[in-house]
């Protein structure tokens, strides 16, 4: 899960590239790739019968949100 913070920082940096810069198109393409990578963390986990809450707690999405929240606090 440690890649999430780095991906978010990379996205923020890439968004700072001005539209007049030669690298703007490449930065926007990289932003889309970062978003696609982050979306991989949102893929649902198929829970076993009766274990939905446990599956949610273990899901990559929940772990990612927890890491982003922890990073924001520190």
**If pLDDT is split at 50, 70 and 90, which confidence band does 19 have?**
very high
Over range 41-47, report the average pLDDT.
Answer: 66
Which pLDDT score is estimated for 34? 94
C-alpha 61, offset from chain centre = 9
Which pLDDT score is estimated for 21? 97
Which pLDDT score is estimated for 41? 74
Class of residue 64 by CB neighbours under 10 A (exposed 0-12, middle 13-18, buried 19+): buried
Q: List the end-to-end C-alpha distance of the chain, in Å, as a whole number.
A: 16
Over range 31-56, report the average pLDDT.
Answer: 74
Which pLDDT score is estimated for 17? 97
pLDDT > 70 in the chain, percent: 69
């Amino acid at each position: 899960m440690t890649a999430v913070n780095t991906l978010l920082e990379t996205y923020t940096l890439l968004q700072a590239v001005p539209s007049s810069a030669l690298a703007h198109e490449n930065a926007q393409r990289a932003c889309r790739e970062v978003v696609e990578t982050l979306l991989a963390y949102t893929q649902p986990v198929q829970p076993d019968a009766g274990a939905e809450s446990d599956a949610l707690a273990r899901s990559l999405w929940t772990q990612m949100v927890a890491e982003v929240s922890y990073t924001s606090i520190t």
